[in-house]
Structure 1
Amino acid sequence: MKIVLTGSLGHISQPVAQQLIALGHTVTVISHNPKRAAAITALGATPAIGSIRDAAFLTQTFQGADAVYLMITAASAGDIFEAGKQQAAIYATAVKQAGVSQVVNLSSVGANLGPEVGSLHIYHIIETYLKQALPAVNLSFIRPTAMFYNLFGSLASIRQDHAIYTNNSLTAVGSWVSPNDIAPVVVQALTAPTAATSVQYVASDEKTYPEIAALLGQALHMPDLKAVALTDDQMLHRLLATGAPKQFTEQYVKTVAYERDQDFYADYRLHHPVLGPTKLADFAPIFAKVVAQQH
């Protein structure tokens, strides 16, 4: 098969490319950065250097593809929801003009919910737009849960305060996923698609924040590392103080508050995936290695 991937050589796109190439597929990887071209070629893929906001470039790149993988990195500045809708429209235009019949879209847990779910509502907007704009295309929506690497956002507070701050519940079990476990699901969706529209959740482990703090603390030789619950206002002010964009930060805090106060995982439980093999206990030494390298 001829398959085109967005996402350059990111956490998910690179292992997807490697697995597809190992299976004998012809892979093109889109990147906006010309410096990535050599690394993409070294994988055995063809680099396509250009912007995912350029419909003409995408249309040309998608020509002749049996399947394409679409992902959107949530904008952190400006109107994130309008940016998501605009990118979905550009993707839909290119898919239609190139005559692509199979699309795999990296979405997210929470995509079934409305504006009440905060920042994750961008994925509902994208899924809805693609379904409406591409009724004749086989669409596979892959919905990962929280990424392990999101925990790197707590690096500073772990170093300074031996604490992971969150406005989430400290007693509720959350779902987490490793990119290593997302890649095979994406590969399967690209190479053995189901007809029409499908949704698949991906998760690796389910843990509370204190359990995560214990795992990271052990790997870091920091036995006093703890999870600390903040109010929504406290979390908002803490994040804004780091220079985080206002709208994105407000929507992110709203997302976590919804997870804390509502049945955020209802649809996830109804379609509960088999958990992937990579656990937070496997990630903890990787996290500790990054911390050690940055000292």
Structure 2
Amino acid sequence: MKIIVTGSLGNISKPLTKELINKGHSVTVISSNTERKSEIEALGAKAAIGSMENIDFLTETFKGADIVYAMEALNAGVFFDHNVDFMEANTQIGRNYKEAFERSGVKNIVHLSSIGAHLPSGNGILAFHYNVEKILNELPEDVSIKFMRPVGFYYNMYSFIPTIKSQGAIIQNYGGDEKEAWVSPLDIANVIAEEIEKPFNGREIRYIASEEISPNDIAKTLGEAIGNQALKWLTVSDEDLLNGMISAGTNPKTAKGFVEMNAARGNGVLYEDYYQNRPALGNVKVKDFAEDFAKAYFK
């Protein structure tokens, strides 16, 4: 099949591209970075260099595709850009996708959404996933869409490193012994590759998770990996976390959304629909990720 993969060679898109090529599919990878072209081609895929803000580019790239894997992706420094509305920028990419799908005639879509996408509000920065799902659901009924809803990504734990080094602790506005779900990008890629080869039929939702583990157990696992047996997960107020993020240079609106998202993790609201549609867990556990975390910590 001819498959379009968005997300350049990111944490999900790269292993997904490799797996699809190994299965004999013709893959085109969309990237905004011209320097990625040779690396994409080295994997055996075609490179389409352009922007998700360019609807004409997306339309032309999508034409003739059997399936498009679509995700919203902004550059890594966007949290600290005070000129970017994180929610609106991601929602606009969703609008661009919708128009490009309509104009190109794509009939089968795998969309990377998120846990929390069932909520229009109360989920912080994850609300844009609700917005985009709603936008894509406006496509004609003959367009089949599989909404993938992964939980929190393991690699988001890299953000714990600064406070571990400066204050000797993981500091968030939720914590304790209540388990929450986390996921490896490798498990996400495996599920997406699996869904791509299954029949498409209307609109479907699938949650993706690798392990359910408590904040305290995360601190213990990461602490053991970095040789700090005393590492603790400390809980602070929403206000303290917000002020700390703003002091570090985070866009205030984005910081507020992040704090609200974490609060929804702590009170369980974020996971209500997840537990009603609980998936089988993937293969990569926090203990496996901890090895990569330790490398990043000591780098």
| TM-score strictly above 0.5 | yes
Aligned equivalent of 1:60:
60
Equivalent pairs counted in the alignment come to 293
- Three-state SS of the structure 1 residue aligned to 2:270 is coil
**Is 1:241 aligned to residue 247 of structure 2?**
yes
Query: How big is the shift at 1:168?
Result: 1.1
**Structure-1 separation of matches of 2:255 and 2:199:** 36
What amino acid sits opposite 1:142 in the alignment?
A: M
Deviations 1:211-239 (A, max 9, x none): 00100110100111110000000000111
What amino acid sits opposite 2:58 in the alignment?
A: L
1:148 to 137, 154, 179: 154
Q: Is the 8 A contact 1:81 1:125 kept in 2?
A: no
TM-score (norm 2): 0.95
Query: How big is the shift at 1:12?
Result: 0.1
- Three-state SS of the structure 1 residue aligned to 2:148 is strand
**Is 1:33 aligned to residue 33 of structure 2?**
yes
- Three-state SS of the structure 2 residue aligned to 1:115 is coil
- Please provide the CA RMSD for this pair: 1.2
Unaligned runs of 5+ in 2: none
1:94 to 89, 100, 110: 100
**Structure-2 separation of matches of 1:286 and 1:84:** 28
**Structure-1 separation of matches of 2:219 and 2:115:** 23
Aligned equivalent of 1:124:
130
1:215 to 208, 221, 225: 221
What amino acid sits opposite 1:167 in the alignment?
A: N
How do 1:1-295 residues align onto structure 2 when only pairs under 5 Å count? 1-73=1-73, 76=79, 77=81, 78-293=84-299
What amino acid sits opposite 2:270 in the alignment?
A: F
Query: How big is the shift at 1:171?
Result: 2.6
What amino acid sits opposite 1:14 in the alignment?
A: K
Determine what percentage of the aligned residue pairs are the same residue. Answer: 37
CA distance change for structure 1 residues 291 and 169 in 2, over 3 Å: closer, same or farther?
closer
Query: How big is the shift at 1:146?
Result: 0.4
**Structure-1 separation of matches of 2:117 and 2:199:** 21
TM-score (norm 1): 0.96
Query: How big is the shift at 1:134?
Result: 4.1
Query: How big is the shift at 1:107?
Result: 0.5
What amino acid sits opposite 1:55 in the alignment?
A: I
Query: How big is the shift at 1:57?
Result: 0.5
**Structure-2 separation of matches of 1:228 and 1:186:** 35
Query: How big is the shift at 1:178?
Result: 0.3
Q: Which runs of 4+ in 1 moved over 3 A?
A: 74-77
Q: Is the 8 A contact 2:175 2:233 kept in 1?
A: no
Q: Is the 8 A contact 1:204 1:279 kept in 2?
A: yes
**Which is worse superposed, 79-88 or 43-52?**
79-88
- Three-state SS of the structure 1 residue aligned to 2:115 is coil
Deviations 1:52-96 (A, max 9, x none): 110100111111100001001266353333223321111011111
What amino acid sits opposite 2:41 in the alignment?
A: T
- Three-state SS of the structure 2 residue aligned to 1:264 is helix
- Three-state SS of the structure 1 residue aligned to 2:138 is helix
